[in-house]
Each structure stands twice: as C-alpha cells, then as structure tokens.
Structure 1
Amino acid sequence: MTRRIMAVAVISSAIALVLFLLPLAIAVFNLFLADAQATLERDALHAAIVVDPSFSASDRTELPKSPPGDQLGLYDASGGLIVGTGPHTADAAVRRALAGQSTRTNTGGLLVAVVPISASESVTGAVRAATPLSGVWQRTLGVWLILALAAAAALAVGIIAAGSLARRITRRVEQLTLASQTLGDGDFDVRTTPSGLPEIDRAGAALNMTAERLGDLVMRERHLAANASHQLRTPLTGLRLLLESGLSDPKADHRGILGQAIERADQLDATIDALISLARGGSSGSPVNPVSELEAVERRWRGVLESAGRPLRLEARDDLPHPVIAEVALRQILDAVLENAVRHGSGQVTLRARESHGAVAFDVTDEGNGIPLGADIFGQGVSFSGGSGLGLALARQLAEDQGARLLLSARVPRTQFTLLVPVEGAGAAFSLARPL
C-alpha cells in the first residue's frame, strides 16, 4: 500500500511539474530571444545616430564598439559594406532595411537587427547588428538547469512527504485492521485513537461506536443470563417443592396443586419475558403507582415469608407521587431485595414507600444482625451465607439503567435497603438530592 501511494504521489507530482515547467521553459527562451533582439536593435539605432546620414563610401566613419563575437556593420544605399563587420553585400534583412523597413530576423544561427539611415526623406544606408543565437541558448540553458534542479528538489520533497503520509496512512489502516480483528475476537474494550486524518478518523469513530454497541449488547445478554439464572432459581425451586409435595401426599388436592403450578409457571413465563425486555432495552420508564406495586410485592412474597414464620408489613400513603420507572424493572429490583431479606435476614420484613427529595423511596427492612462495615454488599460474588451474590449487584445495575438508585441505607441494628426512584419532572432536583 505504501508503494502504491508513493507511486501515485510521484507520478502526480511529476505531471504537475512538467505541466508547469514546460510552458515556463518556453517562456524563458522567448524572453531571452526578445531581449537579445531588442538589444541588437538598440545597438543598431545607436550606431545609426552616430553615423552622419550624408555619409559616403569615401568618408571614414567610425561605429561604436560591439561585444566580442557580435557583428555591427554600415551599408550604403547600394548594399555594400562600408565599415564594420558582416556580409560584404547586403543580405535579405539589409535589403528590407534599405527599402525603409526596420528588420528583426533569425537566420544562419544569428540574430539580426537592421535599421535604415535616412536623409532628406530618402534612405541613404543601413546599420546591421547581429549576434550568435548560441548566446541566447546558453542563457536559456542556464535558467533551464536551475529550473530542473528546483523541479528535482520539489520532486524529492514530494517523495519524502508522500512516503511520510503513506507510512502514516498505512500505520493507521493497520491499527484499524488490528482493532477490527481484536473486536472480532470478542474484546469490546478496543478503541482507536485520533490520527488527524479525517477519513480514517471517521472510520475509527465508527469502529469505536460499533465496539461500544456490541459491548453493550453482549453485556446486556450476559446480565440477562446471570439475572435469569438468579431470578428464576427460587421460583423454580418453589414450583418443584409444590409438585413434590403433591406427589408425596396421596390425600393432597392434586387439582388445586396443578392449578397453583400452572399459575407459578405463568409467573415464570412473565418473569422471563420481563428479563429479556429489560436486557435488550425494550422497557421504558413510565409513572407507576407505588402503593399498587407494594401490594403486588406483598402478594408475591407473603406466602414465602409466612411459610418461614416471618411476618410481612406494608406501609404506604395513598397520596404518594408516581415515580417514573419501568414496571418490570421495579418488580425485579424489589424482588431481588426481598429475596435477600428472606435468605439472609430474620424477623419481620417491612415494605415502606415514602416521599424523599423529588423521588419516591422504597424501603425494605428486616430484623437481621446487620451487615459488617466496609463490606461491598453490591459487589458481584459478595455473599455472607454461601449464596451467589448476584442478586443485589444486578438489582443495583438495573436501577441505574432506569435512572434510579439502590442504596444500603442502614446496617445496624436493622438492615435496610432503599430504592430511590425519581418522580416525573424531578430532573436535577433528584440528582442533587441527598441519598435519603
């Protein structure tokens, strides 16, 4: 690729130089030619002024000195050379001058300029000045050599610049290729850096955006897998226990047990749909009734807590504002916190909804022994009783995705988790509010 870029740059530079220098070289030659002819004509005119118009062949006329190699001659009306240098008899240029016409010509390797000498309105002679054309060529070739050297220098600079640019482009393209390969290998953290080349930077920005989107998609899918495995384990265990109890008790109400099993299977199906929708960003926030949501949580968990001998208490006012959050997300977060209270807490569990600084706070409190200071309860894999430690970590991530915050608001003497959900129109008031 580097060679191709350099070849294109060199060819383009060479063509540009030729198109520029060829007319310039011709113009230089024509300029020197016109200058030499004008100099000759000026010398001839000067000599004609010096000569007396009424000269005769017997007069001893002196002409100005001419440069070495040049010719300067005085011709009479008959075309004969009287004094100076040049053809002994008039040539075509002298004859035209004797006819009254100043002449410039290029003949026999000489530049010739002839001016007539007049007296009493008649031509009495002519002055002829000539110089070798080789002098013009020498001056022209000198300038052409300078132009050629300048062109070679410009071409060399072009080659160096093209090589530098080609290496720069090639290096950036190789980095893009490597980044693409890394992205294809599953590393979604790969990013390209700006190069100062707009076209390549746009490609790099597109690659960065693709990597970010793919990473977000894969992360959502991973969260889906982890969340699904964690959130579905308890309902599946409950369903299994329900079916096993029906099988082990011949006198059990099998029809009623099957009905409960179908109801729990429907709940599992709804949970799976909700998890998929959340993982793929398909659930947007909308105002929800906090009292209705707490009552739904109470219905789902009262039986589980009663079977463990633990009471469930609900506290909420009917006039609370409606927070903005996806309903399925709110249920998943509260279920995760309730499951944590069931697994790791003890005593009465209290569900409370209250207003707090532009948000609605959902408190889940139990009478457990508290959580040690310094423990990162929301870290993945953190558990104090052999659990997976995924529930609270996923719940906090889900809350942040919805613009809410899940906090450990009290450690001792009772454990309390608080979910802060902004109400509609809270905006900066919620983001700047105190945690509780």
Structure 2
Amino acid sequence: MQEQSDLEREALNAALVVDPAFSGRDMPEIPSAAPETELGLYNTAGQLVAGAGPARADAATAPALGLPAGHDSQEWLVAVVPVAAGEKTTGALRAASPAARVWQRVGIGWAALLAAGLLAVAVAWLLARKLARQISRPMEQLAEASVRLGHGEFDLQLPHTGVLEVDRAGSALNAAAASLGELVTREQRLAANVSHQLRTPLTGLRATLEHALSDPTADLRAAARQAIGSADKLESTIADVMTLTRGPVPASPEVDLAALVDGIASLWHGPLAARARPLRVSLAEDVAPLAVAPRAVEQILDVLLDNALQHGSGTVRLEVRALERAVAIDVADSGGNAPDEDIFLRGTSGDGGTGVGLALARQMAEDLGGRLLLSRRSPETQFTLLLPRQKAPDAP
C-alpha cells in the first residue's frame, strides 16, 4: 500500500545518509522523520542508537539484524532497511507509523471515493431527470394535442422543444391538424351550400305534391311529371353545388347568356307569382356569347332570385347589360334598405336568413373571374354580377 511504500522510501533515504561503519559509542546523525513517523537506527545487538523507536528491535527489525524475532505488534506499520558495510550488516534503519493513522488515511480515502461516487450519482440523477422532463413533457403535449385533434380542435400549434424527433412529430401533427381543419371546414361549407340551394326547390316540390293531394280534380300524372322534373332539378343542383364549392370549373365556350337567363327566369316566374310578385326580364341585344361555366352562372342567379323572393318585395327585375369589358347581370327588387354590414360575409344576414347564399354566390363569381356587387341599397336593392368578356382563366 502507499503508506508502506512511503515508509520504505524514508528508510532508504536515511540509509544513504548514515555511515555504515558507525560505532555504538558515537551518536550517528540521521535525517528528521516525517510527522507522526518514527525513524530509528539499531545496531547489530538490536539496541536503538539514534532516532525514535522502541529501545530493543521489534519483530520486524530483528530479522534484518540477524536476531530472533520477538512479539509482533499490530499497532505499528514498519519498514526496515539494513545498513551494511561491504557484505557485513552493521545496523538497520526502522521507519514506522501508527497503524491507526494508516487506517484513518484509508478511511478518509474511502470516504472521499464514496462522496465522489454519491456526487456522481446525484449529478447523473439530476441530468437524467432534466433530460427525462425534456423528453416526457413534449411527449405529453403530443398526446394532449392528439386527444384535442380527436375532439375536433384543429387550431394546434405545438411549441418548439429542441428535441429533433419530437419537433418533427409536432410539425407533422400541426400540418395534419391544419389539413383536417381545412377539409372539415370545406365539407361543412359544402353541406351548408347544398342545404341552402335545395331549400327553394324542395319547397316547390312539396307545394306541387300538396296541391295535387288537396285538389280532387288535379291531374295526378301531370303533377307526377312536374315532381319528377323538380327531383331532377334537385339532383342537378346537388351535383352543381358540390362541384362549384370544391373549386373553379372549366368554362364552356360561347355560352348564350340570353338563353341561359331566359331558362332561369322560366323557373322563377311561378314561385314569384305565387306571392303576387312579377318578374321582369330585360336582355340587351348586343350581348355576345361568353366563355363561362353556365352551371355557376345559374347557381349565382338562383341565389340572387331566391334572396329577392325571401327578403325583398314588389317587382323583381332581371336585366342583362353589355359593358365595355364585361357583361352585367342585375337582379333588383323593391325591398330597399339593405343592411349596412357586409352581407357577403358567411353567416351575415339582415333578415333572419342563413347567411350562406350570398357568400356562396360571391365565391362562385370570383371563381368565374368575375365579381358580385351590391350595386344599390336604396330605394331598391340591386345586385350586379360582372362577367369578363375575355376567356375565363380556368377554361381549357
């Protein structure tokens, strides 16, 4: 052990200083011993002649002098180095320190090692806990966000955590939530659009059937044919609204707006007449055919005429005008006093309506490359659909 090596080194250093031919009658000089260490010089008779130590050579020192070993004491740690002149041993140097001091140093060493080990374990535990929190908290946030997403909350914005894998998963979840939110919103809007556009045709179909049932003299075959026509119109409306809500559709070349408007007007004469409200149609002669999507124009005019039926009063006027760079289609009635708020915003209605129709009509007009305006508020309410004369952007 280290203590034994230190004692041997100290005895050897002293042996280099002591004259091997020292006389028992002379007091030889030996180096000073280290603190708490005995350093003594013994002659061949086993007597202490210089330094500190037991008066007679102990069990560790006697063999180096050729003397029989006595009782060995466990209280001291001893290192002995012979002093020789030639081949003759003239004495021995004994270096010793208390065994209790050795064990004390060993205990201090082990205590230091234990403290260092405990400190290392504590630091490792703290670092592991911090790292675990850095990973577990973002994972908990991912789990919470997944639950919220499952409950229909699509406005997720998971924060940056600094953990590459977790951040990638969070970004993917954010993107998925945004896509799902957009999809759900689009489908909800589609359902609202279809519901709004089917309201008037369904009312007409119901009125036809109720009239046929309540009038004993009614022609049931004619009523059935009319109902089938209304059902076909419903089916066509559903297909048109689904197609138009999901994005722009290709334009048809050379659409005859006069014929298209006449067809729309023929469908609305009856519902308006049932409320004692005439429909006046005016078609300019200089309106050239346009490249537009006719189904979209039909749906826009259906919305405007239904709006006039539900919220307006008096005569309804449908007019087609030729402008320099566009064709204008006006739908006006004597209702007047349109609300001040933007009635084209979805959900906005000044008279208890659904707030869907005008928003849908404006979106379809923009998809056509045109515009839908509230061109007059008073004394009559007038909406104007502007269709550009040039070929629509989405035309093939």
Same fold, judged at TM 0.5 (above): yes
**Aligned CA distance change for structure 1 residues 404 and 47 (closer, same or farther; 3 Å):** farther
Secondary structure of 1:265 counterpart = helix
Over 3 Å counting, the alpha-carbon distance change for 1:147 and 1:264 in structure 2 is same
State the Cα deviation string for residues 102-123 of structure 1 (Å, max 9, x = none): xxxxx94644434444444765
**Alpha-carbon deviation of 1:392?**
0.9
Q: Which residue of 2 aligns with 1:390?
A: 356
State yes or no: 1:408 paired with 2:373: yes
> Which whole-Å CA distance do the structure 2 matches of 1:144 and 1:227 have between them?
82
- Higher Cα Rg, which structure: 2
Residues 246 and 254 in structure 1, CA contact (< 8 A), matched pair in contact too: no
**TM-score, normalization by structure 1:** 0.61
* Whole-Å separation in 1 of the counterparts to 2:254 and 2:24: 136
8 Å CA contact 2:264, 2:298 repeated in 1: no
Q: Distance in 2 between matches of 1:272 and 1:319?
A: 25
Pick the aligned partner of 2:307 from 340, 362, 385. Answer: 340
Aligned partners of 1:123 and 1:354: how far apart in 2? 134
Query: Would you say 1:266 and 2:232 are equivalent positions?
Result: yes
Does residue 46 in structure 1 map to residue 13 in structure 2?
yes
Out of 94, 97, 105, the position equivalent to 1:131 is: 97
Q: Displacement of 1:139 after TM fit?
A: 3.3
Aligned to 1:63: 30
CA contact (8 A) 1:291 1:316 kept: no
Deviation of residue 141 (structure 1)?
Answer: 3.3
Tell me the equivalent position of 2:252. Answer: 289
Q: What corresponds to 1:366 in structure 2?
A: 331
| Aligned equivalent of 2:393 | 423
Q: Describe the SS at the equivalent of 2:342.
A: coil
Shift of 1:310: 1.8
CA distance in 1, matches of 2:149, 2:178: 10
Q: CA deviation at 1:127?
A: 2.3
1:294-373 equivalences under 5 Å are 294=257, 297-298=260-261, 300-305=263-268, 308-311=278-281, 313=283, 317=288, 332-333=299-300, 335-340=302-307, 344=312, 346-350=316-320, 363-368=328-333, 372=338
The offset of 1:303, in angstroms, is 0.8
Which amino acid counterpart does residue 289 of structure 1 have in structure 2? S
| 1:25 equivalent in structure 2 | none
Q: Residue 373 of structure 2: SS of its match in structure 1?
A: strand
Partner Cα distance (2:237, 2:61) in 1: 112
Q: Distance in 2 between matches of 1:271 and 1:87?
A: 125
Seen in structure 2, the aligned counterparts of structure 1 residues 254 and 125 have a Cα distance that, compared at 3 Å, is same
Correspondence list, 1:207-222, <5 A: 212=178, 215-222=181-188
Contact 1:305-1:311 at 8 Å conserved across structures: no
Aligned partner of 1:235 in structure 2 is 201
TM-score (norm 2): 0.66
Q: In 2, Cα distance between the equivalents of 1:111 and 1:311? A: 126
Contact 2:141 2:158 in 1 (8 A): no
Residue 196 of structure 1 pairs with residue 161 of structure 2: yes
Give yes or no for contact 2:349–2:355 (8 Å, CA) kept in 1: yes
* Deviation per residue, 1:227-280 (Å, 9 max, x gap): 22221122223334555677759696946x65554343223123224445667x
How does 1:58-207 map onto structure 2 within 5 Å? Answer: 58-67=25-34, 69-76=36-43, 82-84=49-51, 85=53, 88-89=56-57, 108=74, 110-120=76-86, 124-145=90-111, 148=114, 188=153, 191=156, 193-194=158-159, 196=161, 198=163
Spell out, residue by residue over 1:95-151, the C-alpha distance to the aligned partner (whole angstroms, 9 max, x if none).
5799xxxxxxxx946444344444447654442322234324323433554555566
For structure 2, the 5+ residue unaligned runs are 67-72, 271-277
Q: Compute the RMSD of aligned alpha carbons.
A: 5.1
Residue matched to 1:5: none
Higher helix share: 1
* Kept in 2: contact 1:291–1:353 (CA 8 A): no
Q: Is the 8 A contact 2:42 2:91 kept in 1?
A: yes
C-alpha displacement at 1:52, in angstroms? 0.8
Distance in 2 (CA, whole Å) between partners of 1:354 and 1:169 is 66
Corresponding residue of 1:103: none
Which amino acid counterpart does residue 329 of structure 2 have in structure 1? Answer: V
| Sequence identity percentage | 39
